[in-house]
Structure 1
Amino acid sequence: MATAQRGRLRVIGVDPGLTRCGVGVVDVAPDRSARLVYVGVVRSAPDSRIESRLATIATGIREVLEEHSPDVLAVERVFAQNNRSTVMGTAQASGVALLLAAERGIPAATHTPTEVKAAITGYGSADKRQVQTMVARILRLDELPKPADAADALALALCHAWRGRAVATAATGRLTPAQRAWADAERLARR
């Protein structure tokens, strides 16, 4: 937790997927400025057995957790899709990430894709390219983070840092009235 003690929050974002699981780590300062720490994708072979694929994802996420010691984990909240096999794989990979956070004793949070897009681009229906572009701009990257799973993981981490910090600091009175109202609304929405 040394990162949080220095005023920065280190967040690992996980964009869960069975074939490609995006993982991104950012440091976010109280002024919302952010710095890229790590980004990558954990891949599992589609022709492997499910337990082997989940073990591969767990190993990849575990390595990032051990190397970068985040303060919190943010993962995409699974939502209903037309393709049941896709949603099942996403849910299983999400469960792995949440379990690993619990094993390490770090808090975990989930955010919907719409919440993430709105936090990063200001528009809840933004497309993948818009999210990639804004993540690159926010983190001052020379290139767009690729593939989209990697950009989505970074977007999750940034979303959580910004939204979570707003909620956490509302009680201290350091927010403007508008920010405090936003944080209160966020808190009520999570109930």
Structure 2
Amino acid sequence: MPATCLVVMGVSGAGKSTIAARLADELGWPMAEADEFHPEANIAKMSAGTPLTDADRMPWLEALRAWIDRRDEAGESVVVTCSALKRTYRDVLRGSVARVRFVHLRGSVDTVGGRLSGRSGHFMPPALLESQFADLEPLDEDEDGVALDVSADPDAITSAALDRLGLRPDGSAAPEPDPHTPR
């Protein structure tokens, strides 16, 4: 049985690192930040305020998928942060041998922009937020995951993710959601 990789996704400033760390702690799974897999050229480009192209992102996503596969080979489930803005990017990650599931942290430009403008020490400048929202493709019905509003408290977001994905460490699971209820 393959391991699980829980990808906490969304635009920069959505709270991916915060929620991923809480999920990893709750589940007892290791966590990785996808930003650590970027080649130096990508970091330099983003630091200069230049959005990455799909071609820039592919080696980064493939390196992240290879790491997920190595964890799967070791029988280890993991939590990773990754913007995973487009379906094609998520498809690269879903090409892993692990079961890849998504927690999409979504919020308004105002909410996320406010958070991002108050953050320091990150190479992603707030000016690139618009390009991320322009690229963002919400999860499709056939993608294994949930979308959660970032305006909720981090504890509530973490709890909702565990419940809606049936990943409670004690083995309990929330009832299956009504397929007619919006994600």
Q: Under a length normalisation based on structure 2, what TM-score does the superposition of the two structures give?
A: 0.41
Task: Please state which structure has a larger fraction of its residues in strand.
Answer: 1
TM-score (norm 1): 0.40
